[in-house]
């Protein structure tokens, strides 16, 4: 089995999507740049040409609208947003149009487009260049939302997203680009809506996606040395959500911690906790908990960034405290 970095697997997935289906095209800012999208599109323009790999001006609204129109006309576009923050400009095209067409036309029309948004947090980029918007998109009926965390899954989930007849928001985190993992050379699919248990345990369930799934695994390794057996679920797909995987794990461990790289209020962590609290309440030994970003814009100073973004140490501390609690489900105040 070959070992590729996350960004190499992403590049291979894009190349195979373009090669396998002549209806697929890649459109967006910086797709011909060797660095603008983290080398994820390297070599694609030379291989597939300007009609399949289309570099565009900086106009998120126009580019996304063009992709939605192309999808309605029978193509399967992948439209890249190199900084997810600026997908706000395309909310009308994504939320008001692409998400609604199948429903408004009684299933007679579909919008098979992949909205590929890249999270560029950290590096003192401040509030307007550090935002993760997956919770907002997951709130919208008609959209599917996926967040890979490994080189294997970034390839398989992207190919599945391209095949899907509904619009898919494919959330990609640049902090993962250097991670290395096993990736088959041939095309393969990781199904949307299916979570995976990354680590089996019995003391507590931690559920997360993307970068936070990686941090949760690191936290589990630390806790394992203390004799705390953690089960880690990589959610992978926020919508559709694999609730059965979550519930089966919680019914085994009796404790649940949701970890998310988005804001705390009304976000993915809140939804995960709600699913567990309403559908597996009888199995809980203590109240579900969550770790997410504070309800504040991202700071610019590096010292403040280290406090703002959750890491493995903070995850381990919360899980450790939950395991130490009396085995009864009681309400308690969450830290801000």
- Active-site residue numbers? 60, 129
Q: Give dist(CA 200, CA 272) in Å, integer.
A: 19
Looking at residue 173, its pLDDT comes to 94
The answer to whether residue 335 is domain-embedded is no
Identify whether the C-beta of residue 53 lies closer than 8 Å to the C-beta of residue 44: yes
Whether residues 75 and 177 share a domain: the answer is: yes
Whether residues 53 and 117 share a domain: the answer is: yes
Structural domain containing residue 91: 3-182
State the 10-residue block means of pLDDT for the chain, 336 residues long: 94 97 95 84 94 94 96 96 94 96 90 96 87 96 98 98 97 95 97 98 98 98 97 98 98 97 96 97 95 94 92 96 76 58
Q: Give dist(CA 118, CA 58) in Å, integer.
A: 15
Whether residues 240 and 154 share a domain: the answer is: no
- Into how many domains does the chain fold? 2
Whether residues 124 and 264 share a domain: the answer is: no
Whether residues 51 and 95 share a domain: the answer is: yes
Q: Is 139 helix (H, G, I), strand (E, B) or coil?
A: coil
- Residue that is last in its domain, among 156, 182, 208: 182
- Which CATH number belongs to the domain containing residue 210 in this structure? 3.40.50.920
Handedness of CA 165, 168, 137, 267 (dihedral sign): positive
Q: pTM for the full model? A: 0.95
Looking at residue 334, its pLDDT comes to 62
């Amino acid at each position: 089995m070959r070992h590729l970095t996350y960004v190499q697997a992403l590049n291979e997935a894009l190349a195979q999507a373009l090669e396998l289906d002549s209806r697929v095209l890649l459109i967006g800012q910086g797709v011909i740049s060797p660095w603008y999208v983290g080398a994820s599109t390297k070599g694609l323009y030379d291989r597939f040409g300007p009609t399949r790999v289309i570099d565009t001006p900086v106009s998120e609204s126009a580019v996304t609208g063009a992709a939605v129109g192309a999808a309605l006309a029978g193509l399967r576009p992948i439209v890249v947003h190199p900084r997810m923050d600026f997908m706000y400009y395309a909310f009308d095209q994504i939320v008001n149009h692409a998400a609604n067409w199948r429903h408004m036309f009684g299933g007679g029309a579909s919008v098979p487009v992949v909205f590929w948004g890249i999270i560029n947090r950290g590096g003192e980029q401040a509030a307007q260049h550090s935002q993760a918007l997956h919770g907002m998109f997951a709130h919208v009926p008609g959209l599917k939302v996926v967040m890979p965390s490994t080189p294997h899954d970034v390839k398989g989930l992207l190919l599945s997203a391209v095949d899907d007849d509904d619009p898919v928001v494919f959330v990609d985190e640049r902090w993962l680009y250097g991670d290395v993992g096993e990736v088959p050379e041939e095309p393969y699919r990781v199904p949307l809506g299916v979570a995976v248990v990354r680590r089996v345990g019995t003391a507590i369930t931690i559920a997360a996606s993307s970068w936070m799934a990686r941090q949760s695994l690191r936290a589990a390794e630390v806790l394992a040395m203390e004799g705390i057996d953690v089960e880690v679920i990589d959610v992978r797909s926020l919508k559709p959500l694999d609730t059965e995987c979550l519930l089966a794990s919680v019914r085994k461990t009796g404790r649940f911690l949701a970890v998310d790289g988005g804001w705390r209020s009304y976000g993915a962590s809140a939804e995960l906790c709600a699913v567990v609290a309403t559908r597996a309440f009888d199995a809980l030994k203590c109240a579900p908990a969550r770790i997410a970003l504070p309800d504040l814009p991202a700071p610019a100073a590096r010292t403040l960034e280290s406090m703002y973004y959750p890491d493995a140490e903070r995850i381990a501390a919360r899980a450790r405290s939950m395991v130490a609690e009396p085995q009864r489900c009681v309400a308690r105040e969450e830290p801000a």
